[in-house]
């Protein structure tokens, strides 16, 4: 775990450690999401998928705890007085990413979708790209606390991966609705690939917010 250096702010070692842990939690959740959802596509729901779901759920719970603890510290100890709103906005974006990852697993766990083999390659690529999008959000957030100018270096990658995820998701939807699958299965598949794209869209929103926060810290 790389230690953050939040030198422009008056802060504490505890707060630095909490922010660092939250970023690690999001990064680890993205890996668990990638491997777990890829397994669901290839093998449907089984014990391994359940294990990945529990991992993501635990990460989401820990993220909520850290979000609350950091927020209390910012206000009770008057830390980061000039940027507390931006930091809380960033933490909220990270928390939404965890929520969306867990949501994808919850819906898959309930519906147990069967994805046709001919969609696997594109779908797995879509999952990999959304994980890359989240990873770039984490890297940009780390950079924001060290050197806000370098955060901007990651934001164009966030936008790129989001657009690629959107393109792949739309291709999957078009292929599904041109197929001979029953309408109810088409609708179910569309709902699940939309959840993948929705996650990338939330990450892209976080990138937009980070760009604004980084510029504000640079002036």
Q: How far is CA 172 from CA 82, 84, 123, 191, in A?
A: 45, 41, 7, 11
Alpha carbon distance 208, 36 (integer Å) = 28
Does residue 8 lie within any of the structural domains?
no
Does residue 179 lie within any of the structural domains?
yes
pLDDT tens per residue, range 201-212: 999 999 999 998
What contacts 39, CB < 8 A, 6 or more positions away? Answer: 46, 48, 49, 52
Please, where are the H alpha helices in 47-147?
A: 47-76, 84-111, 120-146
Does residue 183 lie within any of the structural domains?
yes
Does residue 109 lie within any of the structural domains?
yes
If 0-12 CB within 10 Å is exposed, 13-18 middle and 19+ buried, where does residue 99 land?
middle
Does residue 110 lie within any of the structural domains?
yes
Alpha carbon distance 141, 143 (integer Å) = 5
> At 182, is the secondary structure helix, strand, or coil?
coil
Expressed as residue numbers, the domain containing 152 is: 13-218
Does residue 154 lie within any of the structural domains?
yes
Q: How far is CA 125 from CA 40, 50, 165, 185, in A?
A: 14, 22, 8, 21
Q: How far is CA 77 from CA 23, 91, 120, 217, in A?
A: 22, 18, 50, 21
pLDDT tens per residue, range 185-203: 999 999 999 999 999 999 9
Task: Please state the rounded mean pLDDT for residues 67-72.
Answer: 88
Q: Residue 6 above 60 pLDDT?
A: no
pLDDT of amino acid 81: 57
CATH of the domain at 54: 1.20.58.220
Alpha carbon distance 189, 172 (integer Å) = 9
Does residue 1 lie within any of the structural domains?
no
pLDDT confidence of 149, banded at 50, 70, 90?
A: confident
Alpha carbon distance 33, 26 (integer Å) = 10
| Least-confidence region, from 1-10, 86-95, 96-105 | 1-10
Return mean pLDDT, the chain: 89
Alpha carbon distance 213, 117 (integer Å) = 43
pLDDT tens per residue, range 78-94: 555 567 778 888 899 99
pLDDT tens per residue, range 24-55: 999 999 999 999 999 999 998 999 999 999 99
Q: How many structural domains compose the chain? A: 1
Does residue 7 lie within any of the structural domains?
no
């Amino acid at each position: 775990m790389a230690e953050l250096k939040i030198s422009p702010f008056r802060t504490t070692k505890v707060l630095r450690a909490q922010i660092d842990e939250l970023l690690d939690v999001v990064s680890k959740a993205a890996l668990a999401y990638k491997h777990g959802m890829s397994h669901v596509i290839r093998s449907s729901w089984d014990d391994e998928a359940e294990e990945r779901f529990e991992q993501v759920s635990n990460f989401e719970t820990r993220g909520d705890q850290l979000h609350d603890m950091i927020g209390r510290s910012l206000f009770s100890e008057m830390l980061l007085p000039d940027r507390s709103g931006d930091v809380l906005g960033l933490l909220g974006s990270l928390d939404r990413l965890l929520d969306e990852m867990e949501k994808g697993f919850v819906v898959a766990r309930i519906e147990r979708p069967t994805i046709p083999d001919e969609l696997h390659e594109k779908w797995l690529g879509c999952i990999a790209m959304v994980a890359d999008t989240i990873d770039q959000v984490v890297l940009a957030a780390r950079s924001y606390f060290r050197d806000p100018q370098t955060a901007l270096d990651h934001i164009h990658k966030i936008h790129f991966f989001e657009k690629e995820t959107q393109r792949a998701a739309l291709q999957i939807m078009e292929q599904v609705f041109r197929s001979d699958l029953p309408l109810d299965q088409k609708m179910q598949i569309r709902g699940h690939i939309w959840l993948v794209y929705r996650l990338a869209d939330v990450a892209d929103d976080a990138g937009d917010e980070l760009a604004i926060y980084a510029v504000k810290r640079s002036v």
